[in-house]
């Protein structure tokens, strides 16, 4: 399964769990006119899920052999250091467990 497919599958699973789920894009983009637009910072996780009650969960999606980049590691560390939930998911169950949605 590709990481893109995993992201989509996890988003669909999280939509059924309450809270709010967002697909994020990091880096620089360009308008149709060619003007640069900065997005989220490098390393920002693929998915931001906000649980009922307001707890933020940052999910970096990786295929089984996928490698987490140094920028992604730093972002996950920074988010955990301020009290957010942040980690890597290689499956839907990983994501649900990370977000505290599996009892």
Burial class (CB in 10 A: 0-12, 13-18, 19+), 70: exposed
Residue 15 structural domain: 3-98
Q: Is residue 35 part of a domain?
A: yes
d(CA 34, CA 98) in angstroms, rounded, equals 39
Each residue's pLDDT tens digit, 12-23: 999 989 899 999
Q: Which residues pair with 37 in a beta bridge?
A: 29
Number of domains the chain is built from: 1
pLDDT digits 0-9 by tens, 40-75: 888 999 999 999 899 999 999 999 899 999 999 999
Residue 103 lies in a domain: no
Residue 16 lies in a domain: yes
Question: Is residue 29 very low, low, confident or very high in pLDDT (cuts 50, 70, 90)?
Answer: confident
Distance, CA of 13 to chain centre: 13
3-state secondary structure of 63: coil
CATH code at position 22: 3.40.1350.10
pTM, two decimals, is 0.88
Residue 29 lies in a domain: yes
């Amino acid at each position: 399964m590709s990481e893109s497919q995993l992201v989509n599958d996890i988003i669909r699973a999280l939509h059924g769990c309450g809270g709010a789920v967002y697909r994020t894009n990091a880096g620089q983009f360009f308008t149709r006119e060619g003007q640069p637009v900065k997005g989220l910072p490098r390393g920002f996780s693929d998915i931001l899920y906000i649980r009922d009650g307001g707890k933020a969960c940052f999910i970096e999606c990786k295929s089984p052999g996928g490698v987490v980049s140094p920028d992604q590691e730093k972002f996950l560390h920074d988010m955990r250091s301020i009290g957010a939930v942040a980690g890597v998911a290689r499956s839907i169950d990983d994501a649900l467990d990370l977000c505290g949605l599996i009892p």
